[in-house]
Amino acid sequence: MSQDTLLGTPAISSERVRGHLSLLRLDHSVKQLFVLPGIAVALVIGHVRPSTHLLLQVLLGLLAVTAVASSNYVLNELLDAPFDRLHPSKCMRAAAQGLVHRPVAYLQWLMLAALGFALAGRVSRGVLLASIALWLMGCIYNVAPIRSKDVPYLDVISEAINNPLRFCVGWYIVSSSIIPPVSLLIAYWMLGAYFMGLKRFSEYRQLGYEQAGWYRKSFLRYSEESLLNSIVFYAASAMLFFGAFIMRYRMEMVLAFPVVALLMAEYFKLSFEHDSAVQNPEKLFRERRLMVLLFICVALLTCLLFVNVPLVTRMFPRSGTF
């Protein structure tokens, strides 16, 4: 045993450094792309022109939300370590293997949050508030006595709320309006719940009832049937509120519905595969068919946000315009 260990100071090694870096889960940074629709919608609704200053604000906002998300990941891995040891793949995480020094990791958690808030404050008050809300939801999700991840259904909707919070970050990078369109926020929330519900479903199928219950308490109250029922609810709610948004703000986006539906159906199909990428969204880029559909969907939605299609508005006139 080294002198540093005897004195209670963590021995510094490349393995320990890699362990602390892995807590950041930088490979999950792709999730910050959920900020971009908030930027795009704010540009269109607010009639804001892109500029060099706006680009700088976007970069700062993305860095801020990445730091806050990494802070949440550190806390998640520290508090979940005893449960991750019961999972066939998550048992390889650094905290589960005892490769991190916990006091240092908790300091890491707080410093990342402080960095994220500092960067967010440089952008706007709205971005700062949305970033703080994102961090607080990480605490609610992970920390007892609330620890919403252990409560069935609340585990899904409390984590999925990170989607509209990321949207708000994008919105407040561009706009100073009090609140984005509520219908779109709810649609974004329910779409996130759809993805999270399928992640839970895939985990449940792979682990089985007993092992899943050991890994996460909420699974003790789930079944495949109840999870699928909730997933249908989330999908229907997402499309209902998305439809409400496009009816009010951008009728052209109705043309994207078939592609959105195909994308959701493909994601649903993936959840039935063993060790599905649905359980690890950072690996979804390996699913070529899904990525092609995602690219087409994003390109089409972006185009329809900015391009007017008079034929659509004639086919779907607003109430009172017949």
Longest dimension (CA), the chain: 83
Query: Binning pLDDT at 50, 70 and 90, where does residue 212 land?
Result: confident
3-state secondary structure of 20: helix
Delimit the domains of the chain by residue range.
Answer: 21-176, 181-322
Higher per-residue confidence, 271 vs 1: 271
- 5 half-sphere exposure, CB direction, 13 A CA radius: 5
Hey, what CATH class is 21-176 in?
mainly alpha
**Chain segment 270-321, per-residue pLDDT in tens:** 999 988 889 887 788 889 999 999 999 999 999 998 888 888 878 877 654 4
Cβ atoms of 68 and 116 closer than 8 Å: yes
**Chain segment 228-246, per-residue pLDDT in tens:** 999 999 999 999 999 999 9
Whether the per-residue pLDDT at 7 is higher than 70: the answer is: no
d(CA 173, CA 182): 18
Question: If we measure between CA atoms, which residue out of 207, 197, 320, 249 comes closest to residue 37?
Answer: 249
**Can you tell me the mean pLDDT for 109-122?**
97
- Measure the CA dihedral 259/264/266/268, to 10°: -170
3-state secondary structure of 231: helix
Whether the per-residue pLDDT at 1 is higher than 60: the answer is: no
Stated pTM of the model = 0.88
